[in-house]
Homo-oligomer: A and B are copies of this chain.
Amino acid sequence: MKNFADRLIEEIRNKESYVVCGLDPIWESIPEGVKVRFKSKGAAIFAFNKAIIDAIHDVVVCVKPQLAYYEQYGINGLIAFKATVEYARKKGLLVIADGKRNDIGSTSLAYAKAYLSKGDASDLAFDCDALTVNPYLGWNGIQPFVEMCKQNSKGIFILVKTSNPSSGELQDLIVEGGRTIYEKVAELVDKWGSDLVGDSGYSSVGAVVGATYPEQAERIRKIIPRSIILVPGYGAQGGNAKSVVVNFNDDGLGAVVNASRSILYAYKSDRWSGAYDEDAYADAARAEAVYMRDEINMELEKRQK
């Protein structure tokens, strides 16, 4: 199978879209009409996700289920996670498991098996296309993921600069030599991903850089020219098309942009609540995904000129 980065870029080209839809089920925001049809929360969550996937699968390149939102519902939540991953892949979507996993080597290997492999015959693992990982433990914590990426044509996205307000508390500290921690991590990402550069010129070892920090993103983009940047923080967290374009290279590639709540719960938003009622939540999600796709494409075209 093709290298993950190459597959992702092929999807971007085919769909003319850089949009990733985060699948973060929030019980309170799932329409009543879905909830009443099921006894278990897990089943309702999967039904909600399935309708969203059906509505947006040709508009977005990846979905990114956030594991925390499934783990909070225990085993039922994780059954919904697994079903969602399988359904999304069947619909031709790449799946990024957002777990920000990390540990010492032997344990990272277990996480890599869990999310980036099929597992063995008797107990199937979650088998996503990519996983987000945390760099705090250094190379030992990353290497097993990189090996698994090589073996199974998978990808990882390493946290570099996160989208939250306090991300600077550690990430912006300045270390000897005058660079910040997030710049040091970016240097490591470039090094760690050098063996996984595909035909596209991009590596399957990507980075996470929040849409809420465009200045920092500009610096990071230069340090990791071959990494695909997963940009969270668009929409509900305050990022917009203007703030994300700095994450792209001059070739118009090198980034994908995630929105979760602004797509999933578009039916409740100022922009769409007039046009779609609660039962049409999937149509509202599609409208928002199309809007976001076009807004980013337009902003990128402006920059190319």
Contacts and interface: CB of A to CB of B under 8 A. Distances in A.
Given A138-B166, A139-B166, A103 B100 contact: yes
Contacts of A102: 100, 134
A140 B166 contact: yes
Contacts of A174: 175-176
A231 B102 CA distance: 17
Interface of A: 24, 40-42, 66, 68-69, 71-79, 82, 100-105, 107-108, 110-111, 113-115, 119, 122-126, 134-141, 159, 162-171, 173-176, 181, 184-185, 188, 237
A114 B125 CA distance: 20
Contacts of A175: 173-175, 181
Contacts of A115: 71
Contact of A114 (B72, B139, B171): B72
28 contacts: A41-B122, A42-B123, A66-B103, A66-B110, A68-B107, A69-B107, A71-B114, A71-B125, A71-B126, A73-B125, A74-B114, A74-B125, A78-B78, A104-B162, A136-B159, A136-B170, A137-B166, A137-B170, A138-B166, A138-B169, A138-B170, A139-B166, A140-B164, A140-B165, A141-B162, A170-B181, A170-B184, A170-B185
Given A111-B68, A119-B72, A164-B104, A169 B188 contact: yes
A173 B171 contact: no
A75 B75 contact: yes
Contacts of A139: 166, 169
A99 to B, nearest CB: 9
Residue in A24, A77, A105, A134 with the greatest tally of chain B CB atoms within 10 Å: A134
Contacts of A105: 164
Contact of A108 (B68, B123, B159): B68
Contacts of A185: 170
B125 A72 contact: yes
A125 to B, nearest CB: 5
Given A66-B107, A162-B136, A166-B138, A123 B40 contact: yes
A141 B162 CA distance: 10
A126 B67 CA distance: 14
Nearest to A82: B75
A115 B70 CA distance: 12
A170 B135 contact: yes
A123 B159 contact: no
Contacts of A73: 114, 119, 123, 125
B170 A68 contact: no
A162 B106 CA distance: 13
Nearest to A108: B68
A115 B74 CA distance: 9
